[in-house]
Amino acid sequence: MQENNGIKLFALNSNQELAQKIAAEMGVPLCDASVKHFSDGEIQININESVRGNDVFIIQSISDPVNENLMELMIMMDALRRASAGSINAIVPYFGYARADRKARSREPITAKLVSNFIQLAGADRVITLDLHAGQLQGFFNIPVDHLKAIYLLADYFLGKKIDEDVVVVAPDHTGVKMARNLAQFLKAPIAIVDKRDSSRLLNPENTMVIGDVAGHKCIVFDDMIDTGGKMADAAMALKNAGATDVYACATHAIFSANAVEELKASPYKEVIVTDTIEIPDYKRFDNLTVLSTAPLFAKAIDLIYNHQSVDSLFPKYAD
């Protein structure tokens, strides 16, 4: 890391563990700010040191509780703007509301655009985020967006564990084919697709098939997030029915809402690999869960941005 004494790094409440790791990677302390919640739910933020003229980076995922964490981010940026911060950089490891990125039906809001507007109006000069649900969300902003990718971190994990040998990368549905293909290119592996023809939660073999050859192969089911876990659990059962051997689940964002933990624990996954963009409390952890840290990635991004350098080095190219 280069000399980063002029950086002011703040952490709000969504993911203190990740923030501490980023600060440790950079060798800078987290700055002093207090975030209080009144009994009626209102939020009060006090910045307890000068930020005048400084480049400020705020770490906050828009994760559960989504609206509370979003408001913390808005209020913090407003406080920094009024305190004459030189620049305000919002580090949003998980960008909530990203799935509402278009009008799928009449009279629907495009909430991702609304949240993007909020972040800009509150005073952000730049957004640094990881694995947006849809890449086009970058176009919702009129400020620079650094869209980082976790696929390199995840691919390195599988390569290091030799799980890339005789493996098939699987999209859990048709919308995930592009992501699966990207990981497959890094692992030099073929792809397959789970084709589930109904929306029921219970897997019906008559309405579910696997497109591609998985019999006798290891499989990695790859998606950008695991929310309720139902899609991942269905994919694992479908692959086992099709003759797959070891099956792995892999995703960037571990939302783990509803009965996701129970779904994953009951499914035939040998290992579930996620990152720490969303803080995972102890009660949501289980024996075959592996959490990879994104702290080195964010620390390097902050370092490059602060020193006005290209972030191209964060997107390595794997040799053919």
- The pLDDT tens digits of the residues spanning 7-29 come to 999 999 999 999 999 999 999 99
Tokens standing for residue 102 = 């278009």
Residue 252 has pLDDT above 60, yes or no: yes
Instruction: Give domain 7-149+295-314's CATH number out of 3.40.50.920, 2.40.10.220, 3.40.50.2020, 2.60.120.200.
Output: 3.40.50.2020
Model-level pTM? 0.94
- The pLDDT tens digits of the residues spanning 164-185 come to 999 999 999 998 999 999 999 9
What secondary structure letter does DSSP report for 52?
B
Annotated binding site for Mg(2+): 133, 173
Mean pLDDT to the nearest integer, 300-319: 88
Same fold, 7-149+295-314 and 151-292: yes
Mean pLDDT to the nearest integer, 100-106: 91
Q: Which of 8, 21, 196, 300 is catalytic?
A: 196
Annotated binding site: 40-42, 133, 173, 223
Residue 88 has pLDDT above 50, yes or no: yes
Annotated binding site for ATP: 40-42
Q: Is 161 a catalytic residue?
A: no
Domain assignments of the chain as residue spans, ordered by start: 7-149+295-314, 151-292
DSSP, collapsed to helix, strand or coil, labels residue 139 as helix
pLDDT of residue 24: 97
Mean pLDDT to the nearest integer, 272-293: 97
Report the CATH fold assignment for 151-292. Answer: Rossmann fold (3.40.50)
- Using alpha carbons, list the distances in angstroms from residue 193 to 98, 177, 185, 232: 24, 7, 15, 12
pLDDT category at 208 given cuts 50, 70, 90 is confident
pLDDT category at 204 given cuts 50, 70, 90 is low
Strands (E), the chain: 7-11, 33-37, 43-47, 55-59, 87-92, 126-130, 145-148, 167-171, 191-196, 208-211, 218-226, 247-254, 271-275, 289-292
Residue 253 has pLDDT above 50, yes or no: yes
- What radius of gyration do the chain's Cα atoms show? 20
pLDDT category at 137 given cuts 50, 70, 90 is very high
